[in-house]
A = this chain, B = another copy of it.
Amino acid sequence: MNAVANSSAFLPKHTVDAFHRGRFYLVQPAGRGHRAGMDAMMLAAAVPSNFSGRLVDFGAGAGAAGLAVLSRCGTASVMLVEKSAEMVAFAEATLSHPANAHLQGRATILCADVTLGGRARVAAGLADNAFDFAIMNPPFNPGADRATPDNLKRQAHVMPDGLFERWVRSAAAVVRPRGGLAVIARPEQIGALLDAFHGRFGNAELLAVHPRADRAAIRVVLRAVRGGRGKLSIRPPLMLHEAGSDRFSPQADAINNGLASLFGD
């Protein structure tokens, strides 16, 4: 994620950061707003490597997770869905960046609120059963958890009550039967997510992400199948760092660089 020369001078102060060892770049706000990183790469890695269908990225921001899927899955397409007009401008700058020319034909952007329901959601451009897989990185932090001075960052990180329910409900509408869903969230949000999956997504797989082998998990990735009836399973966890080291583990490094999937498929 090294910054390169600024090619989008019309935007507010921003950086252009390399992902997947330079196989794609992200134009994103400099020093403010939600900046993409490991979370987006882990979420993208939940999509199987042989995926070749239509992906939708809910809450796409500047497009990190969606483009990471395109970068690894050479025939997939993605619709990036983002509510914030300012972040949509960064996503547009990302797609039009010359370094991403090889991905442009497979990505579209929709400025819409994924929590819309029914006809309003369809009218906003999110048709029923239109996608084969949805990925989402919903706003993490409960309102009481922190004081964020920065309004862009607040939009990306505050999770009002019931938001998982609304995000998952919309995913269940736009993903075709037997299509997939992957969510990255915090460990304490498992209960709300499983409740939201109930009756919509089954065959759920839970994967915990630990900073290292002796520490509590900092993230979970949940993957499930639309209309699946199978039981929740718990996959072996991902350890980000090796014991006694600040270096990424080989598995975390491969996931961060688009060289491996999270669930081994």
Interface residue ranges, A against B (CB under 8 Å): 186-188, 190-191, 194-195, 198, 206, 208, 210, 213-217, 220, 231-237
Which B residue sits closest to A197, measured CB to CB? B191
User: Contacting A198 at CB < 8 Å: which of B191, B215, B236?
Assistant: B191
The answer to whether A208 touches B191 (Cβ under 8 A) is: no
CA distance A174 to B74 in the complex (A): 58
User: Contacting A190 at CB < 8 Å: which of B194, B215, B216?
Assistant: B194
Which B residue sits closest to A209, measured CB to CB? B234
The answer to whether B233 touches A216 (Cβ under 8 A) is: yes
Which B residue sits closest to A235, measured CB to CB? B216
CA distance A216 to B207 in the complex (A): 10
User: Contacting A191 at CB < 8 Å: which of B194, B210, B236?
Assistant: B194
A selection of 12 A-B contacts at a CB cut-off of 8 Å is A187-B231, A187-B232, A187-B234, A190-B206, A191-B194, A191-B195, A191-B232, A208-B237, A210-B236, A215-B236, A217-B234, A220-B234
- Which residues of the partner chain B approach A213 to less than 8 Å between Cβ atoms? 236
The answer to whether B234 touches A216 (Cβ under 8 A) is: yes
The answer to whether A237 touches B235 (Cβ under 8 A) is: no
- Which residues of the partner chain B approach A210 to less than 8 Å between Cβ atoms? 234, 236
CA distance A216 to B263 in the complex (A): 11
- Which residues of the partner chain B approach A215 to less than 8 Å between Cβ atoms? 236
- Which residues of the partner chain B approach A231 to less than 8 Å between Cβ atoms? 186-188
CA distance A220 to B208 in the complex (A): 13
- Which residues of the partner chain B approach A186 to less than 8 Å between Cβ atoms? 231
Which B residue sits closest to A230, measured CB to CB? B188
CA distance A213 to B215 in the complex (A): 16
A200 to nearest B CB, angstroms?
Answer: 13
User: Contacting A234 at CB < 8 Å: which of B191, B198, B208, B232?
Assistant: B208
- Which residues of the partner chain B approach A233 to less than 8 Å between Cβ atoms? 187-188, 216-217
A159 to nearest B CB, angstroms?
Answer: 13
- Which residues of the partner chain B approach A236 to less than 8 Å between Cβ atoms? 210, 213-216, 237
- Which residues of the partner chain B approach A195 to less than 8 Å between Cβ atoms? 191, 195
- Which residues of the partner chain B approach A237 to less than 8 Å between Cβ atoms? 208, 236-237
10 further A-B contacts with Cβ under 8 Å, apart from A188-B231, A210-B234, are A187-B232, A188-B233, A190-B206, A191-B191, A191-B232, A195-B195, A208-B208, A215-B236, A217-B233, A237-B237
